[in-house]
Chains A and B, each alone.
Chain A
């Protein structure tokens, strides 16, 4: 393919890994790549569910006074669409990449806490099932993903709906926090020799920043939800307005979490696109340090803008001015990122693979979301825009045009690394164009709907308000997105069987993950590589591409580090086996044969997650104390058993 340097095969090709198979191996896995795939498939499933909800919303709103679903059902649909897409799709889909890629990109054999990693996934799975189980009780959450008090308090929402929501989000928060600490530890401690912070791949950098956002922002929503849970189950008065509570408490807590959450959703996609664009431009990333600093700055400023969601609550001119200015400031580092991507493409040799198309899609579409974002950073103007369809348009450009486009770019880009085969480019192209056109057709008219006075979250609107045409267009666009998604699903499963065999490095990648076989063996790297620049693989295969980027001194390349009883050497030259074999290479040597110590599989994280989840089941069953007590004991026992079992087999 694009690789210009052909090198003789090395032992790496012979060590292609064959997974252990069977249900048990998946339930007990602690391999970060398998946990990543579990995240991947679970979140893609929820993507279809969330999309189905979106489709029903667009059917209802196709014309005025729609009666496809009742007002009650509509309110459940838009609440669950938002909750699903944010907590069960974009976040875990990013987590799938964190899991799969971070150890590979930093040259590690697994994450710092492999069992905690498995535990995170099982808790996430349980939380998603829990919150969606509400559908079967005809009690899906119905107060919006933002769940403003006092609508969520018992007097105004007496049913189980909000119970499912508040407990479900708590469960998902546990998962995110556990994963966050895990990845921070992994990235700080497990980088390969020579991989300084300023040589880390940009995706890993953005993931690193995201984890800090998660561990700083999730405790806030946890507090807010705990207050609500105490109100609903134990009669406290945090949000109980009849007892004099101030409902703005919830809003401040929620958005103090909610705005960093927006960056939790977008930064991983920025990271993925920063991997894809240089590879298909055949150029190093433009302004690497600035990309990193702007990411850090976005995350930092992201904690100081929350009240721009609240310009209509009457905070007074001083607060409005403050949050207006901070919000405008955050546009600057975001703009820098856009321009640096363009700078990367400038002068490049652009190859329009499907991954690249989606990456460019992010750059082009996120820009639109950014511009409308600046428009409602101006409070007087925002008073006309907030809670109207203009906002719906804005954040779908950010989250669909931004996050989802970036994640799709990542999926097409890393599919060969995950499965060993390439995804079909033709079906991929259909997927991209249908999604891009459908997405614009759906969300661009919503700008006009908002400016023409259509409020958000309404289950129906009257005829003759000038909203019919744009709502028609939006619903037609949704159909295109659905068709595009069908191409994606078809392509995904068909390529798994018949896709072209990828080899180690199908795209001419620059970072460590492209050095090892696809799919990688369970131990990832037989020898821990020694990193000399930001683009270790280009250093070997296309040195001309990295001639301009800073490199380590000669002394650095001599670093010897003992990992699992083995001395690491310098980076061996990789091989290029693209298209040479009919199927991914069969396994020849396992971790055991190579003397690499890997964590043993264990069912204990799953048991811990299940018993922890059962505590919450007891809570929602009208505080069923015996169940809660029993589950808590099971949780403690499984933790003990987890802690008393060694992580790895005994050293020999």
Chain B
């Protein structure tokens, strides 16, 4: 009877152990918080590892003790009488003090790290304004006069200080391999800063539930060599391709009037913000972008890691006329009077000054669209313009495809949409 009993609980207990070990077997973890690639990441990483090790020790000790007790003191041969005791002051004081000591070992580095990571960013830091929208990210570089969306470029070795605000509900800014989360709170400005230490492409997520498409509010981060960052920034500052008329456009004039530094000043700006006496490690970035070779000065698509390229399937019901070949010039003409301009801005296009949706000045140079959930290619752009709400649940961008069914009637044929997509794609 006793042996039977033992055998019976041994099998499921072993099954349980197997299960626990199985789940630890994932080797491919591109968004792991343990793969730190910034000064912030390293500090937090060493603290978290300490917690994991201590936690694992306590886990093993307590669970072993439980199993030992269950085996040793199980009822045997019917009526073995239990030893009668109901307390032991020494023991009880002991197991109050020991956890307290263990916790002290956690508390001291914790407090130290809190003050270290929540200190003010160095003044030389690159300033980035992060503005949350349902369900996309707006990024502004006030030192450079750049506004972009859903894709961040950061120079390796230079501290980036993020000022976080939101246009609507709460969001949370998270790049697992570079920093912890910081919430975007209405009527507040929050800050978080870190110094990336290697050049690569990373996934970013919204980590605070923000409504229907919370899952589809992602972004990409490219950490690049400082020279590459400068090239990117200089390019982002220029007017959109095909839009620069000989005379300065009113849009550009407005920017200058606001006091945004003109392109030529950027070099100086970068020069003065080079870290002086900063503890950040020297840039270890090996250049990935072929700056001289590409007009757009963006992260080369052929070097993008697999897990940074979105694989979201498009809705099966949403199709596009394959014979429609877009013409960028026609698309540009259409765009300038299209409803698009109510929400989107393109630098150098006087009519396009909308601020509700992402800034499209250099949209063709981005690797993704729609909050980082689709790759940025003609096909996806066309489907997106045709029926955004079908592509992304809850999308605040209405549908434009003529035959599509939705809250608002669509106005454009597939050919017109193809033209628009061709134009947007050309805005490298």
Whether B106 lies near A246 (C-beta < 8 A) is no
A286-B79 Cα distance, complex, nearest whole Å: 21
Instruction: List 18 additional contacts besides A247-B170, A247-B187, A462-B312; criterion CB under 8 Å.
Output: A71-B212, A72-B393, A143-B209, A283-B86, A287-B87, A321-B115, A328-B107, A332-B100, A349-B79, A380-B47, A380-B117, A384-B48, A385-B33, A448-B26, A453-B31, A459-B215, A464-B307, A544-B84
Whether A156 lies near B168 (C-beta < 8 A) is yes
Which of the segments A85-93, A131-139, A310-318 contacts the partner chain? A310-318
Q: Which of B95, B106, B115, B169 contacts A336 (CB 8 A)?
A: B95
Q: Which of A312, A346, A351, A440 contacts B183 (CB 8 A)?
A: A312
Known: A387-B172, A455-B207. A437 touches B16 (CB 8 A): yes
Least Cβ–Cβ distance between B35 and chain A, in angstroms: 9
Whether B26 lies near A470 (C-beta < 8 A) is yes
13 contacts between A and B (CB under 8 A): A71-B216, A71-B394, A245-B187, A286-B88, A287-B88, A312-B183, A314-B190, A338-B62, A349-B80, A436-B12, A441-B19, A457-B209, A477-B19
A566-B85 Cα distance, complex, nearest whole Å: 38
Q: Which of A64, A150, A469 contacts B186 (CB 8 A)?
A: A150
Determine whether B51 belongs to the interface, using a CB cutoff of 8 Å to chain A.
Answer: yes
Determine whether A372 belongs to the interface, using a CB cutoff of 8 Å to chain B.
Answer: yes
Whether A469 lies near B25 (C-beta < 8 A) is yes
Determine whether A284 belongs to the interface, using a CB cutoff of 8 Å to chain B.
Answer: yes
Known: A332-B99, A436-B12, A453-B32. A388 touches B311 (CB 8 A): no
**Considering the complex, which residues of chain B in the window 1-42 have a beta carbon less than 8 Å from any beta carbon of chain A?**
5, 8-9, 12, 15-16, 19-20, 22-26, 28-34
Determine whether A345 belongs to the interface, using a CB cutoff of 8 Å to chain B.
Answer: yes
A466-B305 Cα distance, complex, nearest whole Å: 13
Contact mask for chain B residues 192-217; partner A; CB cutoff 8 A; 1 contact, 0 none: 00000000000101111111111110
5 nearest CB pairs, A to B = A383-B180, A453-B31, A458-B215, A445-B23, A453-B176
A316-B23 Cα distance, complex, nearest whole Å: 36
Contact mask for chain B residues 82-121; partner A; CB cutoff 8 A; 1 contact, 0 none: 1111111001100110011001001100110111011000
A379 / chain B contacts, CB cutoff of 8 Å: 110, 114
A374 / chain B contacts, CB cutoff of 8 Å: 51, 55, 103, 106
Whether B212 lies near A381 (C-beta < 8 A) is no
Looking across the interface, which residue of chain B has its beta carbon closest to that of A335? B99
Whether B9 lies near A352 (C-beta < 8 A) is yes
Whether B312 lies near A65 (C-beta < 8 A) is yes
A632-B182 Cα distance, complex, nearest whole Å: 46
Contact mask for chain B residues 305-317; partner A; CB cutoff 8 A; 1 contact, 0 none: 0110011110000
**Considering the complex, which residues of chain B in the window 208-235 have a beta carbon less than 8 Å from any beta carbon of chain A?**
208-216, 218
Known: A312-B181, A332-B100, A466-B30. A444 touches B23 (CB 8 A): yes
A328-B8 Cα distance, complex, nearest whole Å: 39
A133-B110 Cα distance, complex, nearest whole Å: 46
Least Cβ–Cβ distance between A139 and chain B, in angstroms: 14
B186 / chain A contacts, CB cutoff of 8 Å: 150, 241, 245, 247
Determine whether B321 belongs to the interface, using a CB cutoff of 8 Å to chain A.
Answer: no
A371 / chain B contacts, CB cutoff of 8 Å: 55, 58-59
Determine whether B293 belongs to the interface, using a CB cutoff of 8 Å to chain A.
Answer: no
Whether B31 lies near A364 (C-beta < 8 A) is no
Whether B212 lies near A72 (C-beta < 8 A) is yes
Least Cβ–Cβ distance between B323 and chain A, in angstroms: 29
Q: Which of B30, B134, B187, B373 contacts A241 (CB 8 A)?
A: B187
B373 / chain A contacts, CB cutoff of 8 Å: 462
Looking across the interface, which residue of chain B has its beta carbon closest to that of A447? B23
Looking across the interface, which residue of chain B has its beta carbon closest to that of A383? B180
Which of the segments B66-74, B261-269, B279-287, B349-357 contacts the partner chain? B66-74
Known: A241-B186, A336-B92, A374-B106. A548 touches B23 (CB 8 A): no
Determine whether A375 belongs to the interface, using a CB cutoff of 8 Å to chain B.
Answer: yes
Whether A384 lies near B180 (C-beta < 8 A) is yes
Whether A349 lies near B75 (C-beta < 8 A) is yes
Looking across the interface, which residue of chain B has its beta carbon closest to that of A545? B84
Determine whether B185 belongs to the interface, using a CB cutoff of 8 Å to chain A.
Answer: yes
A284-B79 Cα distance, complex, nearest whole Å: 17
Whether A316 lies near B103 (C-beta < 8 A) is no
A interface, how many residues as a size bin?
Answer: 35 or more
A465 / chain B contacts, CB cutoff of 8 Å: 30-31, 203, 307
A381-B181 Cα distance, complex, nearest whole Å: 10
| Total residue contacts A-B, CB cutoff 8 A | 328
Looking across the interface, which residue of chain B has its beta carbon closest to that of A156? B169
A436-B210 Cα distance, complex, nearest whole Å: 33
Q: Which of B8, B99, B215 contacts A460 (CB 8 A)?
A: B215
**Considering the complex, which residues of chain A in the window 380-394 have a beta carbon less than 8 Å from any beta carbon of chain B?**
380-388
Whether A348 lies near B66 (C-beta < 8 A) is no
Looking across the interface, which residue of chain A has its beta carbon closest to that of B59? A371
A549-B86 Cα distance, complex, nearest whole Å: 7
Chain B CB count within 10 A is highest, among A244, A350, A470, for A350
A324 / chain B contacts, CB cutoff of 8 Å: 107, 110-111, 114
Whether A313 lies near B190 (C-beta < 8 A) is yes
Determine whether A496 belongs to the interface, using a CB cutoff of 8 Å to chain B.
Answer: no
Determine whether B320 belongs to the interface, using a CB cutoff of 8 Å to chain A.
Answer: no
A347-B73 Cα distance, complex, nearest whole Å: 6
B342 / chain A contacts, CB cutoff of 8 Å: none
A64-B310 Cα distance, complex, nearest whole Å: 11
A505-B81 Cα distance, complex, nearest whole Å: 19
Known: A285-B86, A453-B31. A378 touches B66 (CB 8 A): no
Determine whether B191 belongs to the interface, using a CB cutoff of 8 Å to chain A.
Answer: yes
Determine whether A627 belongs to the interface, using a CB cutoff of 8 Å to chain B.
Answer: no
Whether A473 lies near B15 (C-beta < 8 A) is no
Least Cβ–Cβ distance between B326 and chain A, in angstroms: 27
Contact mask for chain A residues 297-323; partner B; CB cutoff 8 A; 1 contact, 0 none: 000000000000000111011001100
Whether B82 lies near A455 (C-beta < 8 A) is no
B20 / chain A contacts, CB cutoff of 8 Å: 440, 444
Least Cβ–Cβ distance between B220 and chain A, in angstroms: 12
A351 / chain B contacts, CB cutoff of 8 Å: 75
Contact mask for chain A residues 345-376; partner B; CB cutoff 8 A; 1 contact, 0 none: 11111111000000010011001100110110
**Considering the complex, which residues of chain A in the window 183-212 have a beta carbon less than 8 Å from any beta carbon of chain B?**
none
Whether B48 lies near A381 (C-beta < 8 A) is yes
A350 / chain B contacts, CB cutoff of 8 Å: 69-70, 73-75
A348-B96 Cα distance, complex, nearest whole Å: 23
A437 / chain B contacts, CB cutoff of 8 Å: 12, 15-16, 19
Whether B83 lies near A347 (C-beta < 8 A) is yes
Least Cβ–Cβ distance between A438 and chain B, in angstroms: 9
Least Cβ–Cβ distance between B156 and chain A, in angstroms: 21
A462-B208 Cα distance, complex, nearest whole Å: 18
Whether A151 lies near B19 (C-beta < 8 A) is no
Looking across the interface, which residue of chain A has its beta carbon closest to that of B28? A466
Whether B110 lies near A348 (C-beta < 8 A) is no
Determine whether B153 belongs to the interface, using a CB cutoff of 8 Å to chain A.
Answer: no
Determine whether B174 belongs to the interface, using a CB cutoff of 8 Å to chain A.
Answer: yes
Determine whether A282 belongs to the interface, using a CB cutoff of 8 Å to chain B.
Answer: yes
A65 / chain B contacts, CB cutoff of 8 Å: 311-313
A220-B119 Cα distance, complex, nearest whole Å: 33
Least Cβ–Cβ distance between A514 and chain B, in angstroms: 18
